[in-house]
Each structure stands twice: as C-alpha cells, then as structure tokens.
Amino acid sequence: MIRGIDHIAIAVRSIDDSLAYYTEELKLPLVHDELLPSAGVRLAYVQAGPIMIQLVQPIGETPIRKFLEEKGEGLHHLCFEVQDIPETLTQLVGESETRVVMGGRDRRAAFLSAHSNGLILELTETDPVRGG
C-alpha cells in the first residue's frame, strides 16, 4: 500500500526567502518550483537523498496561511507515496470519503482526515496524471 515517503513539507512565509538555505547552505538541488492556484500555494521541492523536502508558501487565504498564523514556520506534513489513492483510501478506516485533489507535480493527492500523533498526513500518487 505505502511505497515510501515522498516528501516532508515545511510551511514557509516566503519560498524566495527560505530556499537559499536549502540550496546554498545545505547544497540540496532544487528540482521543481510551481504555483498551484487551485490549492492557493506555491511549492518548491529540493532533493534530500531519496526523499524530497517541499517548501509550502500560501498565495491566498488558505489553510496553510492559517497554519502559519497559528504555529509559525516549520514542519507541516508528511507525505506518503502510493500507486492508487482511491484504492488506498478504501483500505484505511474512515478515509473512504476523503477528497482526492490535484496536487503538486501533476499528481493526485489526498490529505487524510486522521492525524496520527497530531501529524498531518498526505498521500500522493507515484505517477503524474497523464496530460496533467
């Protein structure tokens, strides 16, 4: 079911202000940077070995902006990679009605309603949506 960790998301007020630390200080390569207007965020991905770090910046009045106002910058969620989100959701107790959306990198995504140990969990599919 779970293939591994796809990314660790860090909420930031400004990707432009935060990215230099990861790319210049830590020497992690930037592999993707995109605006996702449907979710009201800008996303930047840096490669950290087999796992990516995703910087998430709000670009509108969205849940990530509320998160930043309440908790400040820092760890936002952990994202697991799966082959098929709808199939995976049917196997998770209480998640069969969880909404599947278009996430970053043209992949479908879903945020689980259950928050294990207070941590927000996301699923993303292994492959991008064709023609996405």
Segment 17-41, tens digit of pLDDT: 999 999 999 999 999 999 999 999 9
pLDDT on residue 130: 78
Domain assignment present for 44: yes
Domain assignment present for 79: yes
pLDDT on residue 114: 82
Domain assignment present for 131: no
Mean pLDDT across 34-51: 96
pLDDT at 132 over 70: no
> Percentage of the chain with pLDDT > 90?
92
Domain assignment present for 132: no
pLDDT at 131 over 80: no
Q: What is the DSSP string of 27-76?
A: -PPEEEEEEETTTTEEEEEEEETTEEEEEEEESSSSHHHHHHHHH-SEEE
**Structural domain harbouring 107:** 4-125
Q: The dihedral of CA 124, 62, 130, 97: what is its sign?
A: positive
Domain assignment present for 105: yes
Q: Tell me 98's DSSP state.
A: P
Q: In CATH, what number is assigned to the domain containing residue 118?
A: 3.10.180.10
Residue scoring higher pLDDT (115 or 100): 100
Q: Which of 92, 76, 75, 72 is nearest to 84 (CA)?
A: 92
Q: How many domains does the chain have?
A: 1
Calpha distance 35→31 (Å, rounded): 14
Domain assignment present for 130: no
Q: Which of 71, 29, 72, 68 is nearest to 52 (CA)?
A: 29
